Amino acid sequence: MKTIKPPLVLYNALKKSRLSGSSIGFVPTMGALHAGHISLIRQARQENAIIVVSIFVNPAQFGPKEDLKKYPRPLNKDLALCRKERVDFVFLPSIKDIYSEDFSTYVSVEKLSGVLCGIARPGHFRGVATIVTKLLNIIQPDVIYLGQKDAQQAIIIKKMARDLNIPVKVKIMPTVRQSDGLALSSRNAYLDKKERLDALVLSKALSLAKLLVNSGAKSPLRIISRMKQLISRKKNARIDYIAIVDAASLKPVRKISGECLIALAVRIGRTRLIDNIIVRV
């Protein structure tokens, strides 16, 4: 496994593989790797000759009051995990390598970025789309692997690749959960014992929604209201949003039909968690 910092060095290291037709699989991360990331890396390992994992805590996707400073950075542990998973290259760019002092070019995916998490986190998806575009330019992978847990991010990256003719296949892998249902997230590390228990309310609300849909419920408003009731029983939980939207356009649906994304963001104490499921009717 090679650890590379300068973008051009990685670009050149991958040139040979690109020219010889070896497929390159890419898993972008901000580090603090967990089983969700590992599942992406394993899928990439199965499907490609060369695997690249990037670890970069991207300042452009954090708002001024967000957790950029305290975001976990267990680099040695992350590198050990990558080595164990037989990653070929770990890309560890410096902030300066990515954002020069006079940096002024951003990628913004309109409409899709202004809904759901985009409301409470203005500029977040612009930061994500910009860094992913830069990483795709440097690495030029055949396939990028993303998790369903960040459904809106995955949809935005898919749209961005299509809109900008970036020749990459976007693969979205299922959310990995702990045995009690909590979706894995690097931010779970912020939860204390009590909050960790309260956080189960997200997956429980989604299970309730699924149950209602499976028993024939068609009204998003009613389903959302039942989810709100369940979540409001937890004193420590503050709903940011609960939405039932078309799984491709992210537009709210009037009736449950086709493929719908049921997504929510809830603050447990000071930690904002997200989760979602897709229902097909």
Binding residues for ligand PAF, per CB under 6 A?
28-30, 58, 61, 128, 131-132, 150, 153
Nearest to ligand PAF of 154, 243 (CB atom): 154
- d(Cα 15, Cα 218) in Å, to the nearest integer? 52
Question: Which residue's beta carbon is nearest to the bound ligand PAF?
Answer: 28
Q: Are 24 and 52 in contact (CB under 8 A)?
A: yes
Q: Which is nearer to ligand PAF, 154 or 242 (CB)?
A: 154
Q: Enumerate residues 6+ apart whose C-beta is below 8 A from 81.
A: 33, 37, 38
**Would you say 50 or 91 has its CB closer to ligand PAF?**
91
CB 14, min distance to ligand PAF, A: 18
CB of 93 to ligand PAF, least distance (A): 11
- With tokens 């590992």, the residue in question is 38
Q: Which one, 131 or 213, has the nearer CB to ligand PAF? A: 131
CB of 128 to ligand PAF, least distance (A): 5
Our CA angle for 266, 270, 275, nearest 5°, is 25
Give 223's Cβ-side CA count (13 Å radius). Answer: 30
Using the minimum distance from each CB to ligand PAF, give the nearer residue, 88 or 150: 150
Please confirm, yes or no, whether 34 is among the known catalytic residues. no
Minimum distance, C-beta of residue 234 to ligand PAF, in the bound complex (Å) = 26
Alpha carbon distance 58, 95 (integer Å): 8
Determine which one of 28, 30, 37, 175 is catalytic: 37
Smallest separation (angstroms) from ligand PAF to the CB of 226: 30
From residue 226, alpha-carbon distances to 103, 155, 216 in Å are 46, 27, 14
Catalytic residue ranges:
37
